């Protein structure tokens, strides 16, 4: 008897509900055009906001690091896996964020799951937006703190929870994505910070999709709102706009120190290889030296959003380069994505459990690397498939 036989049934059930997602395999480098199933197609599915995954300066920095330091770091940070370059990157990240200290993690995901249970526990309260990222949710699950979830971006509900909590906990920690990864909307950070300050609560902002995209030279959403110094903790990723891999926590020195003592992914999982660290450091310099990348990202974003809306698609509440095209039903989103691919456009569907069952969508992200011709081709494909599947008419909304 096969004790894992139940898995086959579960997979079959997912397929029957149109919730099984096959992995799309790229036969080429990441970029505005990629090879899928042997064909070159325009990609709208990466988080490579500034095109840095392929930037010559990052490639050169990574190669030089391999030549000098080899391929692996060989140990966890707390044993023998901290090189000078790891600490240099952290100092540069702290400066980039305008805060005293930063600590890197293997990914943005492990930054959240390492951070949240380290700084909260019995006697604390975590207050979390209902659409926060899975890594925040898992970080909260790993904590012994009490938790309350407020409806997405609902400041009145948040303020009510905070008022009720005042004085009853050692720490009240408000946690929010800065840019929501499936809808592309920006958290109302000024109001969140005001509400938290009024109640003596701390604020943790996960800026995975805002760093490199918003703020001066891509410093992020906190900088964009002029809130530096009023947000206690920022989490960032090195895997999206920065173009490589990793995550970090930025904030006070004592926070960094505590994380080096207790954050489990930091203590128990091997540190970044040299090539990754070198590429991340170079990315921060490129963001400083080449503001035109951010300008191009936003020009492409404005154009793509306006034209998608003009075609009659529902793009929800997005304010950033993440533009969802809402469809509701998972089968439609899957079919739409397949038909786009037939037309030379790679745009992945997002279905349950990443979004609610009736909130299936195609999620698009334009980057600084997309040319006008590539965006033209993508928009033409959306127009054709929208009409074919009856989501839009030739004149706009159906």
How many CA atoms are closer than 13 Å to the CA of 332, on its beta-carbon side?
A: 17
Yes or no: say if 349 and 330 are a contact pair by the CB < 8 Å rule. Answer: yes
Rounded least distance, CB 206 to ligand PMP, Å: 5
Catalytic residue (one of 128, 135, 181, 211): 181
Distant-in-sequence, close-in-space partners of 194: CB < 8 Å, separation ≥ 6: none
Rounded least distance, CB 237 to ligand PMP, Å: 4
Catalytic residue (one of 97, 240, 272, 305): 240
Measured from the CB atom, is 62 or 385 closer to ligand PMP? 62
Distance of CA 41 to the CA centre of its chain: 23
Rounded least distance, CB 137 to ligand PMP, Å: 10
Rounded least distance, CB 397 to ligand PMP, Å: 30
Closest Cα partner for 165 from 132, 126, 204, 130?
Answer: 126
- What Å distances lie between residue 263 and 31, 65, 114, CA to CA? 34, 27, 5
Yes or no: say if 76 and 269 are a contact pair by the CB < 8 Å rule. Answer: yes
Active site (annotated) includes residue 209: yes
| Footprint on this chain of ligand PMP (rule: CB under 6 A) | 107-109, 133, 135, 177, 181, 206, 208-209, 237, 239, 247
Closest Cα partner for 373 from 32, 29, 31?
Answer: 32
Residue nearest to ligand PMP (CB): 108
Tokens of 322: 């993440």
Tokens of 385: 């498939």
Measured from the CB atom, is 90 or 177 closer to ligand PMP? 177
Active site (annotated) includes residue 73: no
Yes or no: say if 124 and 169 are a contact pair by the CB < 8 Å rule. Answer: yes
Measured from the CB atom, is 108 or 330 closer to ligand PMP? 108
Catalytic residue (one of 18, 133, 209, 224): 209
Active site (annotated) includes residue 97: no
Rounded least distance, CB 182 to ligand PMP, Å: 9
Yes or no: say if 333 and 351 are a contact pair by the CB < 8 Å rule. Answer: yes
Yes or no: say if 246 and 237 are a contact pair by the CB < 8 Å rule. Answer: yes
Distant-in-sequence, close-in-space partners of 351: CB < 8 Å, separation ≥ 6: 18, 19, 21, 330, 333, 334, 360
Q: Omega before 86 cis (within 30°)?
A: no
- What Å distances lie between residue 61 and 96, 212, 213, 285, CA to CA? 19, 19, 22, 11
Rounded least distance, CB 7 to ligand PMP, Å: 25
Measured from the CB atom, is 184 or 294 closer to ligand PMP? 184
Measured from the CB atom, is 135 or 332 closer to ligand PMP? 135
Rounded least distance, CB 342 to ligand PMP, Å: 27
- Provide the greatest CA pair distance for the chain: 64
Distant-in-sequence, close-in-space partners of 334: CB < 8 Å, separation ≥ 6: 18, 349, 351, 360
Q: Pairing relation of β-strands 125-129 and 345-346?
A: unpaired
Which residues are identified as catalytic? 181, 209, 240
């Amino acid at each position: 008897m096969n004790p894992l036989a139940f898995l086959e049934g579960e997979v079959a059930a997912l397929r029957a509900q149109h919730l099984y997602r096959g992995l799309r395999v790229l036969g080429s480098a990441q970029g505005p055009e990629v090879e899928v199933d042997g064909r070159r197609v325009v990609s709208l599915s990466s988080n490579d906001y500034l095109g840095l995954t392929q930037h010559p300066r990052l490639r050169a920095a990574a190669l030089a690091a391999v030549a000098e330091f080899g391929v692996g770091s060989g140990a966890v940070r707390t044993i023998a896996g901290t090189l000078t370059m790891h600490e240099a990157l952290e100092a540069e990240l702290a400066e980039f964020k305008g805060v005293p200290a930063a600590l890197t993690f293997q990914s943005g995901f492990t930054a959240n799951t390492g951070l949240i249970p380290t700084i909260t526990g019995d006697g604390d309260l975590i207050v979390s937006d209902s659409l926060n990222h899975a890594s925040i949710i898992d970080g909260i699950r790993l904590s012994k703190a009490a938790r309350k979830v407020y409806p997405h971006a609902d400041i009145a509900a948040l303020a009510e929870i905070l008022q009720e909590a005042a004085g009853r906990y050692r720490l009240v920690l408000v946690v929010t994505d800065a840019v929501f990864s499936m809808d592309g909307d920006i958290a109302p950070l000024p109001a969140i910070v005001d509400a938290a300050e009024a109640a003596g609560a701390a604020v943790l902002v996960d800026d995975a999709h805002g760093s490199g995209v918003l703020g001066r030279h891509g410093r992020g959403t906190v900088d964009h709102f002029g809130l530096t110094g009023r947000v206690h903790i920022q989490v960032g990723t090195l895997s999206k706009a920065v173009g490589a891999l990793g995550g970090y926590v930025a904030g006070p020195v004592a926070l960094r120190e505590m994380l080096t003592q207790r954050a489990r992914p930091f203590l128990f999982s091997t540190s970044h290889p040299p090539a990754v660290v070198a590429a991340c450091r170079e990315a921060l310099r490129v963001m400083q030296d080449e503001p035109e990348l951010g300008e191009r990202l936003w020009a492409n974003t404005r154009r793509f959003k306006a034209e998608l809306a003009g075609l009659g698609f529902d793009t929800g509440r997005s304010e950033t380069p993440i533009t969802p095209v809402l469809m509701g039903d998972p089968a439609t989103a899957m079919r739409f994505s397949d038909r786009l691919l037939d037309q030379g456009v790679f745009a992945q569907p997002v279905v349950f459990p990443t979004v609610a069952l009736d909130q299936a969508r195609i999620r698009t992200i334009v980057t600084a690397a997309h040319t006008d011709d590539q965006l033209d081709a993508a928009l033409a494909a959306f127009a054709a498939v929208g009409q074919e599947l009856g989501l839009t008419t030739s004149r706009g909304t159906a």
